[in-house]
Amino acid sequence: MRGPHNIWRLIRTGATLERTGAMNFVLDAFEAPKAVRLVARALAIPFKPLGYKGDPSLQPATRALTALGPAYIKFGQILSTRPDVVGDEMALQLRVLQDQLPAFPVEVAKAEVEKELGQPVDEIFSEFSPPVAAASIAQVHKARLRSTGEEVAVKVLRPGIEKAFRKDVDAFYLAARMVELFSPGSRRLRPMDVIEHFDGVVRGELDLRLESSSASEYAANTKDDKGFEVPSIKWDYSARRVMTLGWASGVPMGDNAAIDAAGHDRVEMSERILALFLQHALRDGFFHGDMHQGNLKVAANGNIIALDFGIMGHIDEYTRRVYAEILYGFIRKDYKRVAEVHFEAGYVPADKDVDEFARALRAVGEPIFGMDADRISMARLLAYLFEVTERFGMETRTELILLQRTMVVVEGVARSLNPQMNIWQVAAPIVTDYIAKSIGPKAIISDLTKTARVLSRFGPRLPALVEAALIRQADASPPPRQPFKRYIFLAAMLGAAGATGVIALVSALS
């Protein structure tokens, strides 16, 4: 489906914003410069009649995004958590995108359930309600299992959602190509890689078997986390387009009045949700990638309940350490170390000056740390950091896109509970604890142990590897001094074998 015909999709995007009255609203929310406003209006106004009309009962921004399709809705969901970025009015308008979108008929949902599970709905469930929540990808029904009487939530994908998302994402690919073509300076941002990353996330979200698996793993990782819950998956009643899990009763995270009425401490809760996210990202390397208010509830006992596991983030242990060291460096105002970490990880080209980069980072960090608590923002830090890294030729790290985006979303949720929250005070003990465990002496022993286990598996193959290496050296017809190098190579291989044995022994004893 990719190709020039997607230009039409991009044109209709601007035309829809203009027709629904959202163009000026969006430009004002983002404080767009005059030049950008002129270009946007010049491109949109001539095509205004071609834009989607949308639902006139909705507010302009919400009306435009719902008319444009699921990928745009997903973008709006992210913005709804950032009143400090788009303003309170727009954030409030976009809040309905989280779980209050138009639903499809319950009869259609039942037909999907029967098709996927191979049984009539009445044989599986004694009760099956109309939709209780509807989002961009799927909607949820409250039901009761006939076999046990347990209340459950049944998530059903929207009919035709796969095709609709494919159309949106194809247009995004075209936009990324156009950016690379007409703005060479943007290539360091790897827009095509960014869209490919988004595409992969979406594909995973459209297979509820993968979401069920993610929810199960997430629940196992967090079972001992105080004040946090993940509903259990009902595997017998889950498939590609249907997922069944335990029903979660609670107050919506976005309803501060209801949270206050229930007697919960919003200040403590704001700190807890940020701390939990950092723990999951750093400790487990597996975190909820879509933690907006629509995917969170507050139980009667005050526990935070996570829902919707279609977008989950995974970062390997090395990347976790790099990210933690960067955060730790900013927390301690050790900008030289932050700069060194960027260079060590290969994030900044080696031909740049590390001291100059450190000074640029200081210009990022110091003004932020001098702000009042209610003005300190991860979004602001990432925006400033983006400007600095652009100057030093740092490429976009696609493996960190979801982590950084979710960090901003979680901060937005936390600030909606407590605008005075100081994110650095909350983050400091989590990051410091992780640094102590992952980079200190215990971490070195752990790394050696893991290395020994890997090397020990190759122990029986070492003689053959040495022989093959010597044969390759001999076949290369080396110059006169090469035999001496072969002996050095042989000694090194034998030394490696001996080291493997020693480390393996340490591993066994530990």
Q: Which helix (H) or strand (E) holds 50?
A: none
Amino acid at 500: T
The pair phi, psi for residue 145, each rounded to 5°, is -65, 130
C-beta of residue 23 within 8 angstroms of C-beta of residue 39: no
C-alpha neighbours within 13 Å on the C-beta side of residue 341: 20
C-alpha dist (Å) from residue 346 to 19, 341, 342: 46, 8, 6
C-beta of residue 269 within 8 angstroms of C-beta of residue 298: yes
User: Using CA atoms, how far apart are residues 457 and 451, in angstroms rounded to an integer?
Assistant: 10
The pair phi, psi for residue 103, each rounded to 5°, is -95, 160
Amino acid at 170: D
What are the catalytic residues?
290
DSSP line for 308-373 = --SSEEE--HHHHHHHHHHHHHHHHT-HHHHHHHHHHTTSS-TTS-HHHHHHHHHHHHHHHHTS-G
User: Using CA atoms, how far apart are residues 79 and 91, in angstroms rounded to an integer?
Assistant: 7
User: Using H for helix, E for strand and C for coil, what is the string for 153-215?
Assistant: EEEEECCCHHHHHHHHHHHHHHHHHHHHHHCHHHHHHCHHHHHHHHHHHHHHHCCHHHHHHHH
